[in-house]
């Protein structure tokens, strides 16, 4: 598929994140002009009255499942889900089969993303060979490959060995890389089924204690300080974790952190019905933790929102709780959930949303061409969102291959109307474009 553009696109009367209204003219994949009363002969016009124009959303934590687990998702279906949610770029986690621990696998993922055309797919490389935690993967080869990998993670597994973690942090300094840690002490969480607390005690389910996350984060921020390297903490979920990141940032340690939409909205009370759609790692936590991560995101302690979009075939979820897989799909619902948890509560503005869901994730991942403010000369990566509507989230809102969303039947604010990637719509008035790259 080629990426030729089919003439100018004029977005009329959009609301920019700062609240001002503007027309946005797009030509040859870039924003050519932002102003009022714009017109261009032969342009396609989008009436954006009442729509917020955000820089295209960037997800630093997506599971696309290809290669190896295509029953759950593919790069094509996953990037369609991304476009439906307003994302123009996604970072693909390496827990595939084969694991993305070599230049060959990350280059294959990059090419599949380019062929699909719905969003930029930036592969994340594994930290260790096969994500086994025993020896470092080919970090340099993946960094030098056509995929230019800058984020490395064993997500799904913790890099538990402190010496391996130290070496990884030291190694990636050479090319300004970052290690994204899944903070979970495996010994403290053996057999864990949900958050350890009052609800787990009542239900008789083995608990996943907050300290299993917090102890790894504490160790890793000290290692990052010791070697002077960048650390990123994946899906932070507890009040104690927020405190540790806050402390580390005050010390000037180069650490960034993400929170998922589900940890901003849902609590471990959801587990009472044993509905496996609510089974996730790290688990849904207490109401106090939800409040703490909201405050941490609002005050800048937590840098970004990342979806941890984790699709699974139906049979991996429609079984008893203990046997069910961890994970939730999240791309299509992310902006609406964050709108509910953070904007409607007055904790974040739309300017803040542009920062935590586009600008900063692109910067942490060193992804060129994304996360830029909407301005003349910038790449045309834009999301148009209607904040004025409300609706029930249904299976019809899901555009990927799996339906394990925790929000089905939930009323959420807002609606993603348009996603524009490389100057072309991938989502047009709420409808996925059949072949955006053709």
Q: How far apart are CA 74 and CA 179, in angstroms?
A: 25
CB 382 within 8 A of CB 58: no
Question: What does the DSSP assignment read for 107-163?
Answer: HHHHHHHHHH-SSEEEEPBPSBGGG-SSSB--HHHHHHSTT---EE--TTS----HH
Q: Which of 23, 155, 268, 308 is catalytic?
A: 308
Contacts 24+ apart (CB under 8 A), 185-189: 185/158, 185/160, 185/211, 185/212, 185/213, 185/215, 185/216, 186/157, 186/158, 186/160, 188/212, 188/215
CB-CB neighbours of 136 under 10 Å: 17
Please identify which residue in the block is written with the tokens 């290809």: 66
Q: Quick check: is 101 catalytic?
A: no
Residues in contact with 372: Cβ distance below 8 Å, sequence separation at least 6, in sequence order: 55, 359, 362, 378, 379, 381
Q: How far apart are CA 286 and CA 288, in angstroms?
A: 5
Q: Which of 350, 303, 429, 347 is nearest to 55 (CA)?
A: 350
Q: How far apart are CA 377 and CA 60, in angstroms?
A: 25
> Tokens standing for 346?
């007055």
Residues labelled as active-site residues: 308
């Amino acid at each position: 598929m080629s990426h030729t553009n089919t003439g100018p696109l004029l977005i009329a009367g959009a609301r920019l994140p700062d609240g001002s209204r503007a027309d946005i003219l797009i030509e040859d994949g870039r924003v050519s002009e932002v102003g009022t009363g714009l017109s261009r002969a032969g342009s396609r016009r989008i009436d954006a009255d009442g729509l917020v124009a955000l820089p295209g959303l960037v997800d630093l934590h997506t599971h696309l499942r290809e290669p190896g687990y295509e029953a759950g998702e593919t790069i094509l279906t996953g990037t369609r889900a991304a476009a439906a949610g307003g994302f123009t770029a996604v970072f693909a986690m390496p827990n595939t089969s084969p694991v993305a621990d070599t230049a060959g696998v990350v280059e294959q993922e990059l090419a599949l993303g380019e062929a699909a055309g719905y969003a930029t797919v930036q592969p994340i490389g594994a930290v260790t060979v096969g994500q086994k935690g025993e020896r470092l993967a080919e970090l340099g080869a993946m960094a030098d490959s056509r995929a230019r990998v800058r984020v490395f993670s064993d997500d799904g597994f913790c890099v538990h060995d402190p010496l391996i973690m130290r070496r990884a942090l030291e190694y990636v300094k050479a090319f300004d890389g970052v290690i994204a840690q899944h903070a979970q002490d495996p010994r403290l969480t053996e057999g864990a089924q949900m958050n350890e607390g009052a609800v787990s005690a009542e239900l008789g389910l083995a608990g996943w204690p907050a300290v299993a996350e917090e102890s790894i984060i504490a160790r890793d921020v000290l290692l990052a300080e010791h070697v002077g390297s960048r650390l990123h903490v994946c899906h932070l979920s507890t009040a104690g974790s927020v405190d540790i990141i806050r402390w580390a940032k005050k010390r000037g340690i180069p650490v960034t952190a993400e929170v998922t939409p589900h940890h901003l909205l849902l609590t471990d009370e959801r587990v009472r019905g044993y509905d496996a759609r609510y089974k996730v790692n790290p688990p849904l936590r207490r109401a106090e933790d939800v409040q703490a991560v909201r405050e941490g995101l609002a005050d800048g302690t937590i840098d970004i929102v990342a979806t941890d979009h984790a699709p699974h075939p139906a049979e991996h979820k429609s079984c008893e709780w203990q046997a069910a897989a961890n994970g939730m799909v999240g791309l299509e619902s992310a902006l609406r959930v964050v709108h509910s948890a953070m904007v409607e509560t007055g904790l974040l503005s739309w300017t803040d949303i542009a920062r935590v869901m586009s600008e900063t994730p692109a910067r942490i991942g060193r992804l060129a061409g994304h996360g830029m403010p909407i301005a003349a000369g910038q790449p045309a990566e834009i999301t148009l969102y209607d904040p004025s509507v409300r609706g029930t989230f249904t299976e019809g809102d899901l555009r990927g291959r799996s339906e394990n969303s925790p929000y089905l039947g939930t009323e959420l604010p807002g609606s993603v109307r348009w996603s524009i990637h490389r100057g072309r719509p991938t989502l047009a008035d709420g409808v996925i474009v059949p072949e955006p790259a053709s």
